[in-house]
């Protein structure tokens, strides 16, 4: 993404558009990536406004489209949005908890042209899954809908957010996915933004837990390959256990464009926590937002970088790491991502690792999206 002239960025089109249709959700997950103040969110974009966003995104060159939330199924206009996306030529992905999904909706989405459905789980057993999700019937519903998605001819794509309270279930999680006939399984250890950052001390696994889990995944991969299984396991380790930062979003404002429920356009779904003024699609065209807005140009290229990033020979690979992570951990989004071993703030990552080795918080100690709902499971 970085140009040769004075660290300026050569800006290509956004290839991936994420439509966060709503922050509303029937679940209470304590690692939710939605803003902590989601309940105070402004009015959601209308159907016509979302249709305009989809059209503008396609004109810009976006080819992949994700429908996300919150829970996108709470939007009654979802079939209409899917149909328009198919007409425009997007490859579409629905990211859902499965709650609110029905056999009829699965068929309706297929008829509208949806290409892909990802169903999330919280654990491999009903008790833990439902406690984290905040719904006594969540696990049963998820199982039924995962099977319905498969029966409708979609690839079965399952997502498990992994944390210290379910990381011991890795073998059982993989067994469940095998029984369901999953094609792709994302085992994504918590990345600490939003509610996950607020609950980091209670969610972050120890190094020993993480090492064991990764070994179990690798053993399962070897076994599946030997058995001729096509199921793919994707294990995503938390940034906090790395010594070099990830190339967050493949670079700020490089490939990914997110539109939040209220119309705020963002380089990533977490970026609204930064002290940056991001434009809204109601008043600014998507083209102007992507190419010309100060928010999207803020961290493009490398001219903004302080040391040690500015002199680092890896700055073209990791782009200085994650701006949201830098802000959350240091209070200044310009700083080198503390995950990096070269960062002057790397000690904060090391301290978090040490704390994870001795953490004792239970599920009942976490802060959930819906406190009232969590009381159903954690009564004294």
* Calpha distance 115→54 (Å, rounded): 16
Taking CA atoms, 95 is separated from 40, 331, 376, in Å, by: 23, 31, 26
**32 labeled binding residue:** yes
Peptide bond into 70 cis (omega under 30): yes
Residue 66 pairs with which residues in a beta bridge? Answer: 18, 93
Q: Where are the alpha helices (DSSP H) in 252-376?
A: 286-292, 294-297, 315-318, 323-330, 346-358, 371-374
Burial 29-60 (b: 16+ CB within 10 A, else e): bbbbbbbeebeebeebbeeeebbbbbebbbeb
* Calpha distance 312→377 (Å, rounded): 49
Helix (H) or strand (E) holding 47: helix 47-60
**248 labeled binding residue:** no
Other beta carbons within 10 Å of 362: 10
Helix (H) or strand (E) holding 256: strand 256-259
State both tokens at 293. 């807005």
**29 labeled binding residue:** yes
Please enumerate, by residue number, every residue annotated as part of a binding site for [4Fe-4S] cluster.
25, 29, 32
């Amino acid at each position: 993404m970085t140009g040769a002239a004075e660290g300026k960025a050569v800006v290509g089109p956004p290839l991936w558009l994420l439509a966060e249709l709503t922050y509303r959700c029937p679940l209470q997950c304590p690692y939710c990536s939605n803003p902590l103040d989601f309940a105070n969110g402004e009015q959601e974009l209308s159907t016509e406004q979302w249709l305009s966003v989809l059209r503008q995104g396609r004109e810009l060159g976006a080819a992949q489209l994700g429908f996300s939330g919150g829970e996108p199924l709470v939007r009654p206009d979802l079939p209409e949005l899917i149909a328009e996306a198919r007409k425009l030529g997007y490859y579409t992905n629905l990211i859902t908890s499965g709650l609110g999904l029905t056999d009829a909706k699965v068929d309706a989405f297929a008829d509208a042209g949806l290409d892909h459905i990802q169903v999330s789980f919280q654990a491999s057993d009903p008790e833990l899954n439902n406690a984290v999700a905040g719904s006594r019937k969540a696990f049963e519903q998820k199982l039924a809908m995962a099977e319905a998605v498969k029966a409708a001819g979609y690839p079965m794509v399952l997502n498990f957010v992994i944390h210290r309270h379910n990381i011991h279930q890795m073998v059982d999680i993989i067994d469940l996915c095998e029984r369901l006939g999953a094609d792709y399984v994302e085992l994504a250890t918590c990345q600490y933004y939003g509610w996950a950052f607020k609950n980091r001390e209670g969610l972050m696994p120890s190094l020993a837990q993480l090492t064991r889990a990764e070994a179990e995944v690798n053993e399962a991969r070897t076994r599946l390959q030997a058995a001729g299984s096509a199921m793919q396991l994707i294990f995503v380790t938390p940034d906090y256990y790395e010594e070099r930062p990830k190339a967050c979003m493949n670079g700020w404002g490089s490939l990914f464009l997110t539109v939040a429920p209220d119309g705020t356009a963002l380089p990533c779904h977490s970026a609204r926590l930064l002290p940056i003024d991001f434009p809204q699609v109601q008043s600014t065209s998507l083209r102007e937002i992507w190419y010309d807005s100060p928010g999207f140009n803020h961290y493009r290229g490398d001219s903004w970088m302080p040391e040690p990033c500015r002199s680092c020979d890896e700055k073209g690979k990791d782009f200085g790491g994650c701006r949201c992570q830098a802000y959350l951990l240091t209070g200044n989004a310009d700083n080198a991502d503390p995950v990096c071993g070269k960062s002057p703030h790397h000690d904060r990552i090391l301290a978090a690792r040490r704390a994870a080795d001795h953490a004792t918080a239970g599920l009942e100690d976490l802060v959930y999206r819906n406190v009232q709902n969590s009381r159903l499971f954690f009564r004294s």
